[in-house]
Structure 1
Amino acid sequence: MAKLLVVSPVDLGPELGKTVLWRPSVERFSAADADAAVEMARRTGPSLIVVDGFDPGGAAALVGRLRQDSLTRPSAIAVLSRSPSLADEESFRRAGANVVFAGMVHPQLWDARLEELLNVPRRLEARIPVRLATWSRATPEAAPLEGLTLNISVHGILLETPARLEVGSKIDLSFTLPGQRHELRVLGQVVREAGLVDGRWQSGVKFLILRGDARERIAAFIESSVRIPGQPAIPEGEAELPERAQWEIELRASEARKAAILDTALDAVITMDAEGRIVEFNRAAEEMFGCDRAAVTGRTVADTIMLDSLRERHHRGLARYLSTGEATVLGRRVEMSGRRADGSEFPVELAITTVQLDRRRLFTAYLRDITARKQAEDALRKSEERFRAVVENSSDGICLLSGQGTVLYTSPSSSRLLGWRPEEREGRNVLEFVHPDDAERFSAFFAHCLHSAAAPLTIEVRARHRDGGWRLMELVAANHLAEPAVSAVVIN
């Protein structure tokens, strides 16, 4: 059964009661202050801790205490904040929060992420020797390496190796858990590069296939090694790594933050490194480009989703930015074409941001498929062209008026009838060209036309000629204000 600890000076039941946190299968505990929260978390070992009702500094301090305590460290932590600043959110995450929910409780948006946090598998800090063989498309033979786990769960490991592992690469892992005799064999994939620490590379490895009873053995090892008061956290002979623990907390918070954003984003979100290799590819991107995240992770953007005609410009722009800092597309929206897995092209709107993480530069692109918008714009343009062609070739004088009676356009034939050049009438109110004795009647007619989207209306009025005289004219008016291609009252 999943366990939930709600830490708040006020009752959150009315708000959280509509979420998955209040289902019968979740065992709930509560605490009103920080000290009580730490004590309750140590005693109950909750799957998820929800923090709310504290000032930003107090919330960050509580999260930090929970992360520093070896008994409470494994729990996932969510901070609720009604209107956090960016600095507040960053302070929560730096302290170790897995996710920050801003604004009012929204079950439809939150439940998927809360469900995931309730079921985060336990992770144990442990140094376990690992033999691994990496495989690449270019090299058919395995290259054996020796590595060391920094932590382990049933989903994957944080792995330390003397050589760098390429993101996206598949690796065979062989290791023996402390206190056991049987070697476990696992197929994994490098899903993130954590950086270079003390001359050794750290990588996040996701388990793809656990052979035999490997999953059950790992789960049993973790459960039996979780510290309870008065007992060591890991088997005898295994040393804790406080410096690694803090790093792992920060990494977990960062990855959870990205996962929360990526999994709920409506737009495609793609992150690449300084070499142009894809390190993040969210669900919307999978749907947009028609390819799985696992298939593109570790491959370059140019080779997977970019048109051949744009590759050279992409490479030049990336190289220029990395060497000079000069950017042409960062921080602004641009339109370009993308390539789906089936080779088809489609228009996208693109915005790119960049961030420096330690010695690593990352670029994140937010993409939106604008096929429907482009089709609508094209249809509107063609409709406008057809309308203009009809108007300009009509023998009748045609005038377009705004809803306020401003002359927007006059046709060439209208100029021949009344002598006014288009620029002499456009931008002026139509009543300036109506005989004073007919103005009131025309105003009522025009008002009636604005409220009628049915059949055209007819009126006879005297119109001013450029020579100063008046011409009696029969006008037919039709309201097309609601039609994007016209957006005017048409009078002829």
Structure 2
Amino acid sequence: MKNAKPKREPAKTASPERFERQMRDLVNYNLDGILVVGLDGVTLFANPAACTLLNRPLASLLDVEIGLPLSGADYTEIEIRHPDGSLATVEMRVHSIEWEGQPAWLADLRDITERRQAQEALRASEEKMRSIFRAAPTGIGVVCNRVLMDVNHRICEMTGYAKEELIGQSARILYPTQEDFDFVGREKYRQIAGAGTGQVETRWRKKDGAVIDILLASTPIDNKDLSKGVTFTALDITERKLAEDALRKSEERHRQISTLMSDYVYYGVAFPDGSTETQWISGAFERITGYTKEEVNQLQGGYSSLVFPEDLQEVIRQYPNLIKNGTLTVEYRLRCKNGEIRWMLDYIQYVK
């Protein structure tokens, strides 16, 4: 059998004395300041919270003009200067009442200084972020469910679209293919799920149809709720990619040339005792000598260990001329890996 809840006794009508005591407690313990002010501006009543808010004892408030703008709107915000010079922002609501048979004003006062300070700090922070958003040389935007919610001026410069043409559009408008769009969504959000942020290289298509290379980095506004939006930065790396591609092609051409040429070119460091450390050498060297660069550097003395000792001494003897003139032409015999002896004509250039 379930426990029956006891029936609540009907509230008894409070005696006048008890009712007055309850009303007095409601006013005295209210956290808002309460003032009753006559139509002549003289204070008729003030609760403890009003004394605290105005930073004045009760005796200094009663029967004196309070100086508050009580007429007019029933709601206003005012600043109150305390005796110590500090300012408090107060929310005041005013109602007309009857007090001891005479018309009067009832003023409810609430200190909102901290709330106003927090709002001002938030406003200043938001203005600062808007300034960065507008002035940043990098493209910055916000997407929600991959729909463009905001973009800065740099995004418009990069893509050729006006801001109004992008806001509210799917980010698909920026990608040359569905495959590019899908890859970014899949890879970026995979990284975000694992590390809280994502970065990927992709391609965007400008309004005029030109395709540019983009380094895209994204971070959620709230890691726990992606529906609140994702902030992204976009850096145009087209020139960098072109330079990297040109360098790669140049290195490949030089590699092919160095492999096919009958002579070989090397770069390294020579020490006073004649030992060397080869840092780079063309492909023809291995074909001629049978040694790789790594094998030569493992030999005691390095490249110089392949040179006949008496020839090496002659090369070392001419080091001062190399340092003085910057170049040196010498002949020497080189022992190949298979034991074959070859005469080499070496054009050496000194690099500081």
Q: TM-score range by the shorter chain?
A: 0.5 to 0.7
The 5 A counterparts of 1:114-153 are none
Tell me the CA shift for residue 443 of structure 1: 5.2
Distance 1:226 1:373, change over 3 A: same
User: Which residue of 349, 353, 363 corresponds with 2:219?
Assistant: 353
* Residue pairs, 1:301-316, within 5 angstroms: 301-304=171-174, 307-314=177-184
Whole-angstrom distance in 2 between the partners of 1:336 and 1:474: 50
User: Quick one: which amino acid aligns to residue 430 of structure 1?
Assistant: Y
Paired AA for residue 371 in structure 1: T
Structure 1 residues 305 and 446, CA gap change in structure 2 (3 angstroms): farther
- 1:411–1:422 contact (8 Å) kept in structure 2: no
- When residues 226 and 296 of structure 1 are mapped into structure 2, their CA distance, relative to the original with a 3 A threshold, is farther
Q: Tell me, yes or no, if structure 1 residue 466 matches structure 2 residue 316.
A: no
Unpaired segments ≥5 residues, structure 1: 1-177, 180-224, 483-492
Would the alpha carbon gap of residues 331 and 342 (structure 1) be closer, same or farther in structure 2, given more than 3 Å must change?
same
How many residues are aligned here?
250
Counterpart contact for 1:329–1:351, Cα < 8 Å? no
The aligned runs of 1:21-32 (5 Å cut-off) are: none
Moved over 6 A (4+): 225-237, 444-453
Summarize the alignment of residues 164-175 of structure 1 with structure 2, pairs less than 5 Å apart. none
CA RMSD in angstroms, aligned pairs only? 4.5
Aligned to 1:277: 147
The AA in structure 2 aligned to 1:253 is A
1:385 maps to 252
- How far the C-alpha of 1:438 sits from its partner, in A, is 4.0
| Superposed displacement of residue 440, structure 1 | 5.4
Distance 2:323 2:242 in 1: 30
What is the correspondence of 1:425-440 to structure 2 with a 5 Å cutoff? 425=296, 429-439=302-312
After superposition, the C-alpha distances for 1:227-256 in whole angstroms (9 at most, x for unaligned) are 67799999999x999598577546523422
- Aligned in 2, Cα 1:444/1:377: closer, same or farther, shift over 3 Å? farther
**How much has 1:463 moved relative to structure 2?**
2.3
1:340 aligns with 2:211: no
C-alpha displacement of 1:474:
1.0
Distance 1:335 1:461, change over 3 A: same
One-letter amino acid matched to 1:342: D
Whether 1:376 aligns to 2:243 is yes
- Compared CA separation, residues 311 and 358, structure 1 to 2 (3 A): closer
Deviates more, 1:443-452 or 1:251-260: 443-452
With normalisation by structure 1, the TM-score equals: 0.41
- Give the deviation of 1:315 after TM superposition: 5.0
Q: Can you list the C-alpha shifts for 1:282-326, whole angstroms capped at 9, x where unaligned?
A: 2322222222333322323223456433233445568x76xxx96
CA–CA distance in structure 2, aligned partners of residues 296 and 241 of structure 1: 44
Cα drift, residue 345 of structure 1: 0.8
Residues 306 and 277 of structure 1, relative CA distance in 2, 3 Å threshold: farther
127, 133, 137: which one aligns with 1:256: 127
Residue 228 of structure 2 aligns to a residue in which SS?
A: strand
SS at match of 2:221: strand
One-letter amino acid of the structure 2 residue matched with residue 462 of structure 1:
R
Question: How far off is 1:447 after superposition?
Answer: 8.5
Decide whether the 8 Å contact of 1:419 with 1:465 is kept in 2: yes
Q: Aligned ranges for residues 16-415 of structure 1 at < 5 Å? A: 248-249=119-120, 251-273=122-144, 275-304=145-174, 307-314=177-184, 327=193, 331=197, 333-356=199-222, 361-396=228-263, 398-403=264-269, 405-408=276-279, 410-411=281-282, 413-415=284-286
1:401-458 deviation line (CA, Å, top 9, x unaligned): 23565334555643454343565325663222233344455457679778988xx742
The within-5 A match list for 1:434-449 is 434-439=307-312, 442=315
Closer, same or farther in 2 for the Cα pair 1:392/1:282, shift >3 Å? same
- Contact kept? 1:409, 1:426, Cα under 8 Å: no
Distance in 1 of aligned mates of 2:209 and 2:111: 48
Deviations 1:321-357 (A, max 9, x none): 6xxx963785354221112222211111222222219
8 A Cα contact 1:336 1:347, kept in partner: yes
Classify 1:284/1:415 alpha carbon distance in 2 versus 1 (closer, same or farther; 3 Å).
Answer: same
1:476 aligns with 2:342: no
CA distance in 2, matches of 1:448, 1:327: 64
Q: For residues 167 and 330 of structure 2, what CA distance do their matches in structure 1 show? A: 69
**2:143 touches 2:229 (CA, 8 Å); kept in 1?**
yes
Question: For residue 308 of structure 1, what is the amino acid of its counterpart?
Answer: Q
Classify 1:344/1:463 alpha carbon distance in 2 versus 1 (closer, same or farther; 3 Å).
same
Q: Which amino acid aligns with 2:307?
A: V
Q: Secondary structure at the match of 1:302?
A: helix
The residue that corresponds to 2:50 in the other structure is none
Q: Deviations over 1:440-484 (max 9, x none)?
A: 55457679778988xx742212323335575432112457x89xx
Amino acid paired to 2:210:
S
Q: Identity rate of aligned residues, in percent?
A: 24
